[in-house]
Amino acid sequence: MSKTQYFSGQQGFTLIELMIVILLMSVILGISIPSYRAYTLRAGRSDAIKTLLSVTAAQERFYLQNGTYAGNAALALDPPNGLGFTNSKSELGYYHLLIVDDTGGLTIGYTVIATVDAANKQKGDLECYFLNINQNGQRGAMGGYVPSVVERCWR
């Protein structure tokens, strides 16, 4: 009497079934990873937006006390001699800050520019590498004031 048993049922997965699962997973990952990266870049821009709005508020306080806006040298100095932004960076350190004088001087106005720090997670944000705001609250992006670009970068 032979002790060999034959199974009529299937055991495990076939190679084709495994290849279909791998194909489906690669399609799902191929769609989700780029959209997640775009989301994290957009979320990182909030660091620049918050900081730019804080600088404009600090500039108005400085103007009330001194009769002129603070220049780039006063950016990292503590109030009342400056604006108090340590190392001239945004709160999370994703952006470098720069204050550019108005053509008529700091008594007339300024523009604050936030530039991506290439040593952190925002370095891939080539779409909105520069964000800026002036003394009138006019928002800009990528060195200009094109409404579609500003809307995309400041949301």
pLDDT at residue 98 is higher than 90: yes
**What pLDDT shows up at residue 73?**
93
**95-101/139-141 β-pairing:** unpaired
Alpha helices in 7-146 (DSSP H): 15-66
pLDDT at residue 1 is higher than 60: no
Q: CB of 47 within 8 A of CB of 90?
A: yes
Is the preceding peptide bond at 34 cis, omega within 30 degrees of 0?
no
pLDDT at residue 15 is higher than 60: yes
pLDDT digits (tens, 9 = 90+) for 29-63: 998 888 888 888 989 999 999 999 999 999 999 99
Residue 51, class by beta-carbon neighbours within 10 Å (0-12 exposed, 13-18 middle, 19+ buried)? buried
pLDDT at residue 6 is higher than 80: no
pTM: 0.78
Q: Which domains, ranges and CATH numbers included, belong to the chain?
A: 45-153 (3.30.700)
95-101, strands of its sheet edge to edge? 95-101, 110-116, 130-134, 139-141
